[in-house]
Structure 1
Amino acid sequence: MTRYKAIISYDGTLFAGFQRQPQERTVQEELEKTLCKLNSGQPVTVHGAGRTDAGVHAYGQVVHFDLPQSRDVEKLRFALDTQGPEDLDIVSVEQVSDRFHARYQKHSKTYEFLVDNGRPKNPMMRHYATHYPYHLDLKPMQEAIKDLVGTHDFTGFTASGTAVENKVRTISQAKLHRDEKTGFLVFTFTGNGFLYKQVRNMVGTLLKIGNGRMPISQIKTVLEKKDRNLAGPTAAGNGLYLKEIIYED
């Protein structure tokens, strides 16, 4: 068997997330359907670097899969790209060692979150930026977001019911700016892993801080108390993008 690593991008609007689910359209299922056609009808399992929720987008999701023979990687990329759905794009394909695993090999992820703070909202971006039509002060948000950097127990920013026991993660970058062209707020987070809905919960808390309904110190409080009830609401998934995944050698 020959192992391939692929970088893919997708518009998450019409997907129920990355991971295969019964009776739902998912990124994993669509990739596996296309690979099955290219593999003479034989099933192929796709392994992703991580799951994205319904409505969440990706520029740089990474997957791997095995095929019984070696292929020209550009021809394989082109075939996957042209025979798959239009809302799923294959950015690149490369042959890798059979020791490579998209999920378990050590890596860092970068997520972006877009917030449309306009009144009225931009209707063309309703699936691609979360609308927040209330007053926001960037300065306290930019101050508070710094408290997320470092190694912390992110229990307070995790959706209830998660099965993951170890909720300690390291965030190496957390920043916020306003895009001059669109006026959208752009949140950027880089870390060695993120818990279920963690990014959306962090953004929801920062929006409350920017709106003056939570103090700048609220991020520290949530981290210290490990209490989800002290954090802000979960921001909608349509503003979230898995931007990049970098693997260590």
Structure 2
Amino acid sequence: EGEGEEEQLMRSARMVIELLEQEERSGIPSQRIVIGGFGQGATVALLTSLLWEKKLGGIMCMATFLPEFLRKRSMQPPLDVSVAVASLPALFCHGSKDPVVPLAEGLRAYKVASSLGMRSSFRGFQQLEHAANQEVLDNLRHFLLFNLGPSWPGGLGAIPPEEVDNLSVVDLLDFLQARGVSTERCRRKSDLVLLTRQVLAGPSYGFSGFGDLNIPRWRAEEKTGSAAAPWGSSKSAADRKERERVEEEREEEEEDGDKASQ
């Protein structure tokens, strides 16, 4: 007799937890681990985060859905989940034209995660079907950098002001663009440093830069074809070009400095 949906997903989640415990025993703190998946894999990642008693660094769910057994339990609080989900960073990505897992399913999972205290964000992608394109991957990259970061505990969201001068141009761009801050007028690294300091000193400093998508407004715009996609979607190509431009100018400045010193 085959397993039902609940048994299959719970067994998969327990297997992931075993892997997480192995990583922790090898010396990797649980808060430096991010798990994720696509479709059913994303559902397993979400379920794992609800069951494991340790705090993860975050979860990334693409084209996910809330299984029937979890949907029923979520309607009957308190849902028996780990207290570690409180403030857990969670990113949900979904294509608006997904024929396999409808957008509404991803939104349902996102709303339940938010109701449980996760620090959740939802990203919709216009015209995307059951797939992950470059725009989705760019969002995943920003999410990882924001919550883990290459050089400091807590990721880009916890950057200490005294470290700003030591950041690379790429790190500065990641920090600013993850918050939706335009760097169009920045011509050199010092401009990026100044802008980053202004953001850190502002009242909006926090996780708000990776906020939620306004779904009703986005759907209306998608029908009329009048507006750009949300942050991280239509802007990704422009962001990459801007990053390349600043990097090229920085390299040219360094070359000019080397020539002047010779």
More helix as a share of residues: 2
Structure with larger Rg:
2
Of Structure 1 and Structure 2, the greater strand share is in 1
Q: Same fold (TM over 0.5)?
A: no
Greater relative contact order, per chain length (Cα 8 Å cut-off, separation 6+) = 1
Q: Give the TM-score, by structure 2 length.
A: 0.27
